[in-house]
Chain A
């Protein structure tokens, strides 16, 4: 058993080094902004990245960050409103849809993001969704909901399966509640941990989402990072660390909230 343990430590250290090296290197680079002036560690890159001293709109940190933030919130709201009733009804009344839903959660993997955007572009060419900035925004939100659907559906579904949906519904209806009341006042409070789980994953994915927004030309946080990387040296590193911080915070909150679940299936944008 001891020999086994030593090998395990070896793999841990080796893989750990590989995984931590890029992060540490980025951190180091982000702190080197004033190296040539003799200051070894400085937060100038972070300050510059966040405050955008020259006022260039492409590097508008607050603007891009809030754009992504609100896009994420909108995605979460629409996603939840669509998924919770669907998952609930499937569990309760339409159990033959369960395998259908399982299949649908695989679609966003089978249809890569680029292909999805390509399809959306060609289907809605010349219509509202593609020929105005406002329309493109909604196209992006729609695409966001689609790509986060598997990751937000799973926790909601798991949460629904954990509670006795049938009994709760019957009890609520026997006390005179209508569907809306049952859904919002009885079911939802019982599954809100699952919903929150899905919300955090969706948040992390949308905050880091690059493909859709770069192709459609929308000013998200990742587009800011990309523009920064083509022009600057230290600010992109600072932005990367900030982005890592946001992702880490989302996942940390998720794991704090969903402490009971064993291993959350997580994978984000590529």
Chain B
């Protein structure tokens, strides 16, 4: 499916650079992780830790690339022109295995629409977007 190509900015550059090397990184808060013993991850990235706010220092942290399907919809009427030919398609929400507050969207390539297994395990794959070649994180259901 011909996704729009993300243009990285200062905040998102490390994430997209890692995608281009087939690595998944998310922000980790050092304060929450080291002082409070929590593995505090967040995605999409932001300027501040969502738990401790401006006190935290955020660092990019490589993760397993495993996750779980939190929910999904079947899209029949997307406003995004490049995807309209492929309707209907899945849009799932994926929680990262290590921290369910780190969230990603996915078309679940390989999973037919209306056959999405809620709660199933997924693993990351990296997909090239056509306009500028930027890779993005996608997710596939792990077979049994």
Q: Are A and B interaction partners?
A: no
